Amino acid sequence: MKRIVALLGPCCLAFAPLVVQAADWKMDPAGSKLEFVASFEKAPAPGVFKEFDVRLLRFDPEKPAGASLEVTIRVTSADMGIADVNKEIRGKDWFDYAGFPQAEFHSINLRRTEGNRYLARGTLSLKGVKQPVEVPFTWAASAGAAAMGGELVLKRGAFGIGLGEWAASDVIGADVKVTFKVNLRRVN
């Protein structure tokens, strides 16, 4: 047996850095935030999704191409801090909680742009609409913990958010800024 281990040892050690580098990461809800800012009559109208999950699979910061970013958002957890607004966004003209209680992002490509900055390209499914989206993020890791953060702008009309009398962008702006800070823990 020692002879087999001795023969396989150098071979296995050559591949060890690849296995050690790539890891699966799962969101730690403590301190993680997913926020959005729409605009109402040109004034910021902030909100937050209280329930979401992020997984970063097979991620090697030096070679991110084989990794996958998976995000699930309980749209029904949206909170804009005003009871009447929260009631309104449940309806079909807005998020349509009854028909589409969840949104998802699945990456198809992940690459490093520079330093600790990355870009995940993929598809966002929101309110029954699938659109290509690019999610830029920063990455910082230490031991078995990591943090990623970033922001992007979505066009609400592309997903059918704000229909009927709200479709025009003169009262409710067309752009929605999404910001996130996600704490993760290594799971392998």
Per-residue pLDDT of the chain (188 residues; tens, 9 = 90+): 444 434 444 444 344 333 447 999 999 999 999 999 999 999 999 999 999 999 999 999 999 999 999 999 999 999 999 999 999 999 999 999 999 999 999 999 999 999 999 999 999 999 999 999 999 999 999 989 999 999 999 999 999 999 999 999 999 999 999 999 999 999 98
Residue 141 CA: distances (Å) to CA of 43, 45, 53, 144, 145 = 36, 32, 19, 8, 6
* C-alpha span between 182 and 52 (Å, rounded): 10
Say what the pTM is.
0.86
What integer pLDDT is reported at residue 135 of this predicted model? 98
What integer pLDDT is reported at residue 143 of this predicted model? 87
The closest alpha carbon to 106, from 58, 72, 157, 151, belongs to: 72
What integer pLDDT is reported at residue 7 of this predicted model? 41
What integer pLDDT is reported at residue 138 of this predicted model? 98
The closest alpha carbon to 47, from 38, 57, 55, belongs to: 38
What integer pLDDT is reported at residue 68 of this predicted model? 97
What integer pLDDT is reported at residue 16 of this predicted model? 38
* C-alpha span between 151 and 188 (Å, rounded): 27
Residue 143 CA: distances (Å) to CA of 19, 21, 146, 184, 186 = 16, 12, 8, 11, 9
Find out whether 101 and 74 touch, Cβ atoms under 8 Å.
yes
Cβ count within 10 A of residue 5: 9
pLDDT tens by residue, 114-135: 999 999 999 999 999 999 999 9
What integer pLDDT is reported at residue 11 of this predicted model? 44
What integer pLDDT is reported at residue 12 of this predicted model? 41
What integer pLDDT is reported at residue 21 of this predicted model? 75
What integer pLDDT is reported at residue 17 of this predicted model? 39
